[in-house]
Structure formats: structure tokens, C-alpha cells
Structure 1
């Protein structure tokens, strides 16, 4: 609970500062927003690591193949990173580049998901009566 209050506080202060700075130096306002966004992301890296570690422990205790769990975690990471980059490029006024980043993220996710979908379909086919 405390973490989100700190993050929201930092974000609001940065937003107000950016609005004030934007009138005089729009480039500095943009850099401030990017810096704060990256700082928030870096602040959360430890929690992200803990989540990944717990999911891997659960998968190990459930005797799941870690390759599939790691692939799913990578897919989630790609989605977050692509969204983060897309928002930054939108903030910079580059909507076209943001759309390309989103498209690239979706295509990479689909490419990574194919092996999992293949195993899932094969498992369903094996379960069906002949």
C-alpha cells in the first residue's frame, strides 16, 4: 500500500512540474516525464523479480515444465515493455512509432506463443476419443 502511494505521489509531482516546465522548455518537460517513468519502472524491478521467483517455485512444486512458464513470463514482460515504450513515444508526439512498437510487441508475443499453443492443441487431440 505504501509503495503505490509513493509512486502516485512522485507521478503527480512530476506531472505538475512537467506542466509548469512545458510552457518554457517542452524538451525538459518530456525528459522529466521519461526519467520519472523509468525511475518508477526501476523501483518495481525487485517486486517483479519476486513475482517471477514465486511463479517459478509454484511451477516447480507443481511439476510443470519450466520452459513453458518462462515463455509465458517472457510474453508478459514483452507486453509490459512494449506498452511502456509505446506510451513514451506517444508522450513524445510520435503516435505512428508508438503503433509500430505495439505491433512489434504483438507479433513477437504471437511468435513466442506458437510452441505453447502447439503443445496445448496436441494435448487436446490426444485426450479426444478416437
Structure 2
């Protein structure tokens, strides 16, 4: 993952959207969305290496794969809701963005239950 390429795509997308907005403002939304998707794809390519290393660490520690999956889902939900809320706020729908953030927090809370339960079980075993 090359941060300079990602920053370049972001700046180029914003400049392009600015030019298009002055001519046809309704099309600038699509330029910004496309720019965001390209950036996400670029980030996803770099994340595959991180996820592979993370799964190797999990395999060495003996953490159940269900917890590993829950942690990845929690991180994914957090990033996705933040990205979506940012888009909403950029286009004047801040209230929708806030509701997306709230729904993401609730989803994270629900997804965190297995992790919290496993943590409590470990603490109970250590206390005995």
C-alpha cells in the first residue's frame, strides 16, 4: 500500500469533482463516490498482507477462529460506517451520517459479545 498513490488519487478526485461541480453539480457526487471506491480498493489490496499476518499470529496463540472473525467484523463495521457517514456529511446529510454512526456502534456492540464473553472466561479461569 503506497500512501502517496492513495493521497494522489484523493486529491485528483477532489479537484476533478470541483471542476465538474462548476459545470454539472449533480455529476460531482459520482466522481467523489468513485474516488472513494478506488481508495478503498487500493487500501484493501494492502490489507490482505496484514490480515494474513494477523491470522498467523492468531494461529500461534490458539485464539478460537470465531473470535478472530468477530474482531475482523468489528473493525470492518467501524471503517465502513465511518466511511459511509463521511460521505453523507459531505453531501449535507449529516443527520443520516449520525444515524449510520449510531447503527455502526450498535452493530459493534453486538459483535463484541463473543469477545467479551471469552475475556470473562479467561479472567474466571485465572481467578480459580
Moved beyond 2 Å, runs of 4+ = 125-129
Q: How big is the shift at 1:34?
A: 0.7
2:45 is matched with which residue? 46
C-alpha contact 1:78 1:109 (8 A) present in aligned 2: yes
Is 1:21 aligned to 2:23, yes or no?
no
TM-score where L is the length of structure 2? 0.90
2:97 is matched with which residue? 98
Q: How big is the shift at 1:94?
A: 0.9
Write out aligned runs for 1:1-130 (5 A). 3-128=2-127
- Structure 1: stretches of 5+ with no match in the other structure: none
C-alpha contact 1:30 1:91 (8 A) present in aligned 2: no
* Matched residue count: 128
TM-score where L is the length of structure 1? 0.89
- Structure 2: stretches of 5+ with no match in the other structure: none
Aligned-partner Cα distance in 2 for 1:127–1:61: 21
Higher relative contact order (CA 8 A, sep 6+): 2
